[in-house]
Amino acid sequence: MQALTDRSKMVDRKPMTFVERLYLWNIIKGMRITFAHLFRKKVTVKFPEQKRAFSPVFRGLHILNRDEEGRERCTACGLCAVSCPAEAITMEGAERKPGEEHLYREEKYAAKYEINMLRCIFCGFCEEACPKDAIYLTETFAPANYKREGFIYGKDDLLIPDPKTGK
């Protein structure tokens, strides 16, 4: 049978010499690589004292933003939930009642807003889809937790504090 390409090579099957059977040359080459790595700059970051520089496009934990008057920006339009490829965002909308104008920016607001951080892939599509700039991805890590329920962040976990009252 003829080969399709001319890249084949003949294999030399001659017996190994005494030096080749000792593998001495291969051991010397491996030791040379090991010693070369000993004198290189260390890549380890000593965490508590030294902080790692993040990329300018790093995406971390989500936050729900407020406007200048302290009202919630989210109008429960659902574009963030629809644009999420991992389906990590769930929300329920509600109508603003009379007297709640100081709490919510629009007539409709998110009564329930949850992000499952175990499903989230930190793609940033929710941030891009939001027409009201209500959701942002910050430069902080998601903290470790022992239970799965601790990774489901509700509206009270995501909403930044009111600039007027601090709550």
Residues annotated within a binding site: 74, 77, 80, 84, 120, 123, 126, 130
Backbone angles phi, psi at 122, to 5 degrees: 55, 45
Q: What is the per-residue DSSP string for 76-144?
A: ---HHHHH-TT--EEEEEEEPPTT-TTTBSSSEEEEEEEEETTT-----HHHHH-TT--EEE-S-PPPP
> 104 has which bridge partners?
72
Q: Which residues are annotated as a binding site for [4Fe-4S] cluster?
A: 74, 77, 80, 84, 120, 123, 126, 130
